[in-house]
């Protein structure tokens, strides 16, 4: 389990190690990338270092080359669907946090189907379903029923819900789910316990091993990420890269995807944000691409249109489109958001943008018939 590897490393020492990298370390890593010599973990850390900032253009060009070689000129499109904003956990940065006095709602299966029809009409075939952590309202049985309804409309269904046991993940795979997304939020133990003060989410160790349980269950895709802005980003990127490397080796039958969501405004007025500037953000994406060439890299509508557009071709493989972050959001509900999105463009506008850049927007790249 990843927890065993995690316990062999220190967040503070990770930061020190990255900050100690030199220009020569960066140049050696980039030389290996040019020669298509596989990176080791130390090479990855070199590209995260502050000293690597002056090599950003070279990193971008290499990232573009590696992405074209592995993925061609294709970008996967998906949309999130929120089934519920009810939550028993208290995460101080989240709009759904238990303490926040907001109206709570869990969609009925009929409402789930209505959302599905609307998303399907927009051209979406890959959907990511999300809930809060209110297990009595969004039980595994409820999610199972929702998935069986969504099967009629979507080629691929992923989940981003509270962590489950391996056998529960297997139930959802049998129902039709093929992807698991489970963000650690932060890999810093002190920060994690500071901001997660109530509910099951307080259990950092159980969450850390969640992707392992998903890999053992047999998900086709495993998605992980850190919420940038909670702790020192160098430490987060150290452990995120370590986690991605581990999953890639341990669960080689699954595709591994990484996302770097940056914290956005939400109900609760959380303001203890560690700023991650655009230049740092894109450098982290490039470093991940050069480290793990086959890694899926996801950029959501948390990011501004200008930045998302300019990252096309430079490492990103998957983007969300037309996103709503509240239950029932695709059918008129404009309240109850988990967080504010920055890119409000419709799916059709994202498709046009990709085509104008010479890229093929992939609406569907999987069918359950492949598994029969």
User: What confidence score (pLDDT) does residue 339 get?
Assistant: 57
Quick check: 268 pLDDT over 60?
no
Contact call for residues 298 and 126 (beta carbons, < 8 A): no
Widest pairwise Cα distance in the chain: 60
The single-letter DSSP state of residue 203 is: -
Share of the chain above pLDDT 70, in %: 94
> With respect to CATH, is domain 2-371 assigned 3.20.20.70?
yes
pLDDT tens-digit readout, 199-231: 889 999 999 999 999 999 999 999 999 999 999
User: What confidence score (pLDDT) does residue 333 get?
Assistant: 61
Residue linked to tokens 């009810």? 86
Question: What is the average pLDDT across 110-126?
Answer: 97
C-alpha count within 13 angstroms, C-beta hemisphere, residue 165 = 4
Question: What is the average pLDDT across 252-262?
Answer: 97
Structure tokens at 135: 């297990």
pLDDT tens-digit readout, 285-299: 999 999 999 999 999
What is the Cα–Cα distance from 57 to 285, expressed in whole angstroms? 13
Quick check: 11 pLDDT over 60?
yes
Question: Mean pLDDT lowest for which of 11-25, 90-104, 286-300?
Answer: 90-104
How far apart, in Å, are the Cα atoms of 225 and each of 59, 104, 210, 284?
Answer: 21, 26, 12, 12
User: What confidence score (pLDDT) does residue 199 get?
Assistant: 86
pLDDT tens-digit readout, 76-91: 999 999 999 998 888 8
Residue 278: pLDDT band with limits 50, 70, 90:
very high
Question: What is the average pLDDT across 110-117?
Answer: 98
Quick check: 251 pLDDT over 50?
yes
Share of the chain above pLDDT 90, in %: 84
**Mean pLDDT over all residues of the chain?**
93
Q: Where in the chain are the domains?
A: 2-371
Q: Please, which residues bridge with residue 158 across strands?
A: 128, 179
Quick check: 267 pLDDT over 50?
no
């Amino acid at each position: 389990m990843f927890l065993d590897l995690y316990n062999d490393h220190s967040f503070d020492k990770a930061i020190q190690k990255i900050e100690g990298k030199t220009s020569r370390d960066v140049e050696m890593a980039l030389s290996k990338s040019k020669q298509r010599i596989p990176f080791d973990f130390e090479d990855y850390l070199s590209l995260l270092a502050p000293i690597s900032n002056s090599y950003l253009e070279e990193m971008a060009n290499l990232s573009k080359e590696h992405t074209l070689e592995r993925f061609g000129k294709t970008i996967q499109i998906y949309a999130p669907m929120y089934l519920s904003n009810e939550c028993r956990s208290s995460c101080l940065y989240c709009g759904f946090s238990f303490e926040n006095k907001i109206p709570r709602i869990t969609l009925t299966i009929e409402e789930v189907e209505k959302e599905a029809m609307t998303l399907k009409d927009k051209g979406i075939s890959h959907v990511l379903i999300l809930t809060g952590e209110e297990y009595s309202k969004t039980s595994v049985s409820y999610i199972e029923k929702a998935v069986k309804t969504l099967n009629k409309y979507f080629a691929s269904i992923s989940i981003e819900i509270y962590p489950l046991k391996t056998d529960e993940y297997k139930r959802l795979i049998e129902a039709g789910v093929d992807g698991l997304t489970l963000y650690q939020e932060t890999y810093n133990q002190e920060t994690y316990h500071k901001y997660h003060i109530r509910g099951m989410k307080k259990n950092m160790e159980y969450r850390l091993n969640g992707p392992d349980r998903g890999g053992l269950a047999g998900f086709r895709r495993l998605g992980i990420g850190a919420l940038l802005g909670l702790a020192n980003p160098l430490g987060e990127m150290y452990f995120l890269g370590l986690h991605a490397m581990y999953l890639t080796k341990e669960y080689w039958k699954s595709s591994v995807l990484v996302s770097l969501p940056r914290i956005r405004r939400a109900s609760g007025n959380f303001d203890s944000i560690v700023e991650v500037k655009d230049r740092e953000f894109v450098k982290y994406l490039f470093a991940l691409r050069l480290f793990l060439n086959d890694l899926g890299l996801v950029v959501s509508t948390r990011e501004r249109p200008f930045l998302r557009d300019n990252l096309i071709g430079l490492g990103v493989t998957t983007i969300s489109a037309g996103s709503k972050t509240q239950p029932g959001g695709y059918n008129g509900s404009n309240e109850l958001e988990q967080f504010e999105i920055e890119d409000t463009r419709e799916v059709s506008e994202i498709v046009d943008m990709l085509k104008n850049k010479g890229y093929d927007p992939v609406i569907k790249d999987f069918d359950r018939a492949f598994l029969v």
